[in-house]
Amino acid sequence: MSSFRTLRCASSALILGMLMVSASATLASDDLPLAPQSEHPYTLMELTDMALTNNPQTKLAWDSIRESQAGVELARAGYWPLVTADYSYTRSRAVNFSGTSNPAQTRYGPSISLSYLLWNFGTRSGTLDSAKYALAAAELSNSQTLQDVILAVEQNYYQVLGLQALVQADTMSEQDAETNLDAVHQNQKSGLATIGDVYTAQAAQANTQLALQTAQGQLAIAQGTLAISVGSSVDTLLPLAPWEQSVSSEMPPLNVQQMLQQAREARPELLASKAGEQQAIANLEAARGQGWPSLSFAASDGRLNTKEDTAPTTVADNYSAGLTLSIPLFAGFGDEAANHRAQAQVDIAQATTVQLQLQVELEVWQAYQNMHTAAVTLTTADSQLKSAQQAEDVEIARYHIGLDPILNLLTAQQTLANARVQQVQARLNWFTAQAALGHAVGGLDAPTNATELP
């Protein structure tokens, strides 16, 4: 799978994952699913699929969408009439001033009433539009959350691969130092090396052991971070296939200006902010409607049964229908304050979008420059490693025949160890830069001749 094809497939996994996460949304928040312990090396796509299914962030995003959907249904309820059914039962007895009581009277019967808001000059429609834009913002935020999860998996995946390669490089350096120490001991026995050379070689070996132990500790931390990012327990072991020995650096087909434009049009986080602007405008419309008249229709029908202790029961049917025009005259300047508040929220939402767009553009610019730098350093790091390896071979030969002192050999081996680390770091920077750039622009297409990645 190519480097840019990985990013494109990650975008496809975003869509597939949105379908898969709904099936797993019923997981308890305190249950962390364990990844299957397998000797099969996990690919990036497999880990991404696991994260979209198990990561708690995806469940939270879907719950937010469900809440917004309920908000839309609640706003639509304002377009339906309100129907109420009642049944009353009253027993009373009147007593006059002379102390004489009238016969007891019982009233009972059912009734039904209907009220319907016909028009309120934008308050109801503004509330519904606000709920719809809130739902759109929640769906776009969900997409951004899924992309953030994908980016975290990619970064942690490459971090583990990089540290695995660093452990291998430090292991080779430690083996070289041990071999060199054995050679110094042999030379000391033959009189070609001093005890100072032995101490120097021992110090060099201890330094390589320290570097190896540090890299192993960092690898353990990175493996736990990767397990958490896919929604598994921190102690879950996820074996990964090693990255390829040969990596070709190739920039995406789009230039930086095209990427900036793509980010403005495709970044879910930015689109969600624009939806938030429309939501604030709809809230402003609803607030303005509060100060205008409203027209309502009301109707009722009921049957009242009246029975006195000394008289037969009488039955009366009561019904009514009418229109009500409500004209707000004064509300303590509350309507004006609500309008000012809603307008301020519109201004805040618009300023937030502008600020977020600048932030997105900066992320794209930085990611593009980082990827360009990583592409250049890949070739440089490979050349540096090749030259360092050749220099070490020469110094080993010269030291064994007594032409150079031990310090020259140790210097050459240290240079080789640094070159190995630099190559690992260059590859890690290249892979993570690709992931960051794809995330910043909202997805990248793959060139047809891109390098295949594990």
How do residues 304-322 score in pLDDT, each as one tens digit?
888 877 778 888 888 999 9
Alpha-carbon distance of 9 to 27, in angstroms, equals 26
Q: Which helix (H) or strand (E) holds 82?
A: strand 82-92
Q: Which of 126, 182, 162, 132 is nearest to 342 (CA)?
A: 126
Alpha-carbon distance of 360 to 373, in angstroms, equals 20
Residue-level pLDDT at 137:
92
The count of other CB atoms within 10 Å of the CB of residue 233 is 12
| Chain centroid, CA 33 distance in Å | 19
Residues 6+ apart with CB under 8 A from 129: 278, 279, 282, 285
- DSSP letters, 255-269, are -HHHHHHHHHHH-HH
- Per CATH, which fold does 3-79+121-290+334-441 belong to? Outer membrane efflux proteins (OEP) (1.20.1600)
- DSSP letters, 311-370, are S--EEEEEEEEEEEEE-----TTHHHHHHHHHHHHHHHHHHHHHHHHHHHHHHHHHHHHH
Alpha-carbon distance of 333 to 116, in angstroms, equals 27
User: For the chain, which ranges sit under pLDDT 50?
Assistant: 1-36, 446-454
| Domain boundaries of the chain, sorted by first residue | 3-79+121-290+334-441, 81-119+293-327
Q: Answer yes or no: are the C-beta atoms of 391 and 412 closer than 8 Å.
A: yes
Q: Which residue has the tokens 């032995």?
A: 198
Report in angstroms the alpha-carbon separations of 289 from 76, 171, 335: 17, 73, 9
How do residues 395-439 score in pLDDT, each as one tens digit?
888 888 778 888 888 889 899 999 999 989 999 999 999 999 999
The count of other CB atoms within 10 Å of the CB of residue 165 is 22
SS in 3 state form for 49-75?
A: HHHHHHCHHHHHHHHHHHHHHHHHHHH
Q: Answer yes or no: are the C-beta atoms of 11 and 441 closer than 8 Å.
A: no
3-state secondary structure of 42: strand
Report in angstroms the alpha-carbon separations of 129 from 106, 123, 281: 50, 10, 9
Alpha-carbon distance of 74 to 79, in angstroms, equals 10
3-state secondary structure of 312: coil
Alpha-carbon distance of 9 to 256, in angstroms, equals 22
Q: Answer yes or no: are the C-beta atoms of 234 and 228 closer than 8 Å.
A: yes
Rounded (5°) CA angle 34-40-46 = 65
Residue-level pLDDT at 268:
92
The count of other CB atoms within 10 Å of the CB of residue 218 is 16
Q: Answer yes or no: are the C-beta atoms of 2 and 442 closer than 8 Å.
A: no
Residue 88 phi, psi (nearest 5): -115, 150
Q: Which of 236, 325, 208 is nearest to 51 (CA)?
A: 236
